[in-house]
Amino acid sequence: MQFDVRRFDIYRKIPKDLTQPTLTGAVVSICSIVFIAFLFISELTLFLTHDIISELTVEDPVRYSEKIPVFANVTILNTKCDYLGIDIQDDMGRHEVGFRDNTQKFPANEDKGCRIESHFLVNKVPGNFHLSTHSAQDQPQSMDMTHIIHQVRFGMEMTKGIDVKGSFNPLENVDKSNGNAIGTHDYILRIVPTVFEDRYGNIRFPYQYTYSYREMVQYSHGGRIMPVIWFRYELSPITVRYKEKRKPFYHFLTTVCAIIGGTFTVAGIIDSFLFTAHEIIKKAELGKLS
């Protein structure tokens, strides 16, 4: 006794001599293929695009570290490098005047000013760092703290090409060149810890922050005007977590199957409707409707 596997074929084939090609069927088929190709490319693009999911938590994302890295890059337009320095203070008693480690100074504004770049660590407590002439042995005759901020960053730098909507460097290109020459510039920063995990499981710890600004004329104890650029900061207890995800392949495969099957089903209904309508009209013209 022979066993014919072909009996299990649920996709029975219709002989070609029992089918009838039509012009409307060809048009519907071409439109269906174009439509399927368009939806397939759109779905493929969406599948290759990575979604970024965010959530808020109350935690310290970097428990093993009691320090936050800071990078500052500021140009003071009308005070020379010999007079300028970075001072760091916080509520744990830290007070460093003229911080020099990992700090570079470059002449700017035709040698009338100075660009300062510095990397340093701050404690996870409220504090400040500021640009001033406090560390200089000789003070300039006229003091001017008008400036341009190129970058003030806390924590790790975000990976380039990652589209994360966040406030990681809001002070970038802030221009106070038209400010009061003897004015003190006070930036008050609210720092928010942030965790970013990419699709490969790599984790980075940048910090976002918002700021408010005020300008004022400040006097020293001796009555002398001593302009300073202050960056006062405090940390938020809220942590923002970003996670990069891509849709699973089975979701993409299911969607593609639904596109192909749904399109051909709807196209078949349309083609059948057009063919039936055409046949009715043809019979009506020949007077054979009855």
Burial 118-143 (b: 16+ CB within 10 A, else e): bebebbbeebbbbbbbbeeeeeeeeb
Going 16 to 19 to 23 to 27, the CA torsion angle's sign is: negative
Give the pLDDT score at 222. Answer: 66
The pLDDT tens digits for 216-225 are 988 776 667 8
The pLDDT tens digits for 91-129 are 999 999 999 999 999 999 999 999 999 999 999 999 999
Asked whether the predicted pLDDT for residue 65 surpasses 80, the reply is: no
Which one has a higher pLDDT value, 142 or 189? 189
pTM to 2 decimals?
0.71
